[in-house]
Amino acid sequence: MNILVFDKEPFPSWTDAFFLLAYPAMMAAAIVVVRRRDVRRDVAALIDASMITVGLGVVAYTFVIADAVADDSVGRLARVVGVVYPLSDVLVAGVVARLLVGSAAKTRAGLLLVSALGSLLVADVAFLASIYAGVAGNYDQWIDAPYMMFFLLTGLSLQQTDIVSLVGPSGPSTDRLGLLRTVSLGTGALLAPLTLMVGSVAGDVAKVRGAAVGAVLLFLLAMARMSLLMGAIETKRLLLEVLARTDALTGLPNRRTFDFEFDRAVEAARADLLLGCVSVAMIDLDHFKAFNDTYGHAAGDQLLHQAAAAWAQELHESAPGAMLARYGGEEFAAILPGIEEAAAAAVVARLLPSTPQGQSFSAGIAQARLDEAPSGVLARADQRLYQAKAGGRGVVVAGVPPGPPVSAAIP
């Protein structure tokens, strides 16, 4: 208007007040969107956006802000306004980066909003470039095109049906960086050192210092991001470790865990760390195939889950150091450290009344001997399990081992 109506271009002018007031309004709106979507406080996305913002901030300081501050040919107000414009653009770039690294851009409304803010950045950069090129006074109307796109895309984003989801809680965040995010982070991280090189060649100490500060900030942000990634990797490692050692249906330790723990228990018993003895029980639900055929596999899974929970609770109360595991199918196994065979049989027999849905189980008990491998102990317990099945089921079979038990002779 100043150029077309008044045929002059003062800087700053009264129109700058409206332009500058628009930036805080956009920042406030963007913060509301991010906070409402990011109910879990996505620190990784915040760090990623900060790295991109710092990198762009270094470029803006080196090539625009530093020169505006040092320009003595204009008044103080002009210098302040000249600094606020590029600084506001850097903040807008940070908002765009935060929306992009989050999930806001996955909605139509979010994508249009990000595109609108991007158009605003293009327009501002083009306007600044025209000023430095000395052609701003000629009023290049092509610069207005991205400004018009900003208003158009902003209006279109408000008309989208998914605009409500844009300000609602987002889905769970992912630790995957993705190609776009990786390229953006790499570019942001390289901007400061590359700008530092340019500043060093130019010999401007103030610009070099500014770029160096930005490089230090980027390094600290990169270290924080690496720490988050390592924490996420460690969390997933622990989760995978638990999943690898746990039966998915019952929540009990699986056979892999049982074999490992039983080997440890036998070695500890031989070293007299657990009162010098350890017993093992093989437990099998009676007529489980018939139960599955009658009531279905879902009911069978429910029976296994309920039986595992009931037996584990009873075993914890009767023998606190014992461990119950799912051995496979309807077969379970229990390690009873520090308990001799006869006492172990009594402990396992107390599990029978707690078997759910009126079902029963058969069990075989064996105590580890001094010269016996863990596989041999399991084989004897398994043989007694079959004896229990042959004897009518619903019983626990144990016997006196032919050799000396572990408690009888310690190496």
Determine whether 380 is exposed, middle or buried from the number of CB atoms within 10 Å of its CB (0-12, 13-18, 19+). Answer: buried
Tell whether 279 and 236 lie within a shared domain.
no
Distance CA 207, CA 204 (A): 5
Tell whether 198 and 74 lie within a shared domain.
yes
Q: Is the pTM of this model over 0.95?
A: no
Secondary structure in 3-state letters for the chain = CCCCCCCCCCCCCHHHHHHHHHHHHHHHHHHHHHHHHCCCCCHHHHHHHHHHHHHHHHHHHHHHHHHHHHCCCCCHHHHHHHHHHHHHHHHHHHHHHHHHHCCHHHCHHHHHHHHHHHHHHHHHHHHHHHHHHCCHHHCCHHHHHHHHHHHHHHHHHHCCCCHHHHCCCCCCCCCCCHHHHHHHHHHHHHHHHHHHHHHHHHCCHHHHHHHHHHHHHHHHHHHHHHHHHHHHHHHHHHHHHHHHHECCCCCCECHHHHHHHHHHHHHHHHCCCCCCCEEEEEEEECCHHHHHHHHCHHHHHHHHHHHHHHHHHHHHHHCCCCEEEEEECCEEEEEEECCCHHHHHHHHHCCHHHCHHHCCEEEEEEECECCCCHHHHHHHHHHHHHHHHHCCCCCEECCCCCCCEHHHCCC
Tell whether 234 and 268 lie within a shared domain.
no
State which residues form the domain around 271: 255-408
Tell whether 226 and 272 lie within a shared domain.
no
Structurally, the chain folds into a number of domains equal to 2
Tell whether 217 and 93 lie within a shared domain.
yes
Tell whether 382 and 322 lie within a shared domain.
yes
Q: What is the pLDDT along the chain (411 residues), one digit of tens a residue?
A: 555 554 455 566 777 788 888 888 888 887 777 777 665 677 888 888 888 888 888 888 888 888 777 777 777 887 888 788 888 888 888 888 887 776 666 778 888 888 888 888 888 888 777 766 655 555 556 777 888 888 898 888 888 877 777 766 665 555 566 676 777 778 888 888 888 777 665 677 888 888 888 889 989 998 998 898 888 889 889 989 888 899 999 999 999 999 999 999 998 888 875 557 899 999 999 999 999 999 999 999 999 999 999 999 999 999 988 999 999 999 999 999 989 999 999 999 999 999 999 999 999 999 998 788 999 999 999 999 999 999 888 999 997 444 443 332 222
Within a domain: 54: yes
Tell whether 66 and 196 lie within a shared domain.
yes
> Can you list the pairs that 20-25 forms with residues at least 24 positions away whose Cβ atoms lie under 8 Å?
20/81, 20/84, 20/85, 20/88, 23/88, 23/91, 23/92
- Last residue of a domain, which of 196, 212, 243? 243
Within a domain: 149: no
Tell whether 205 and 260 lie within a shared domain.
no
Within a domain: 226: yes
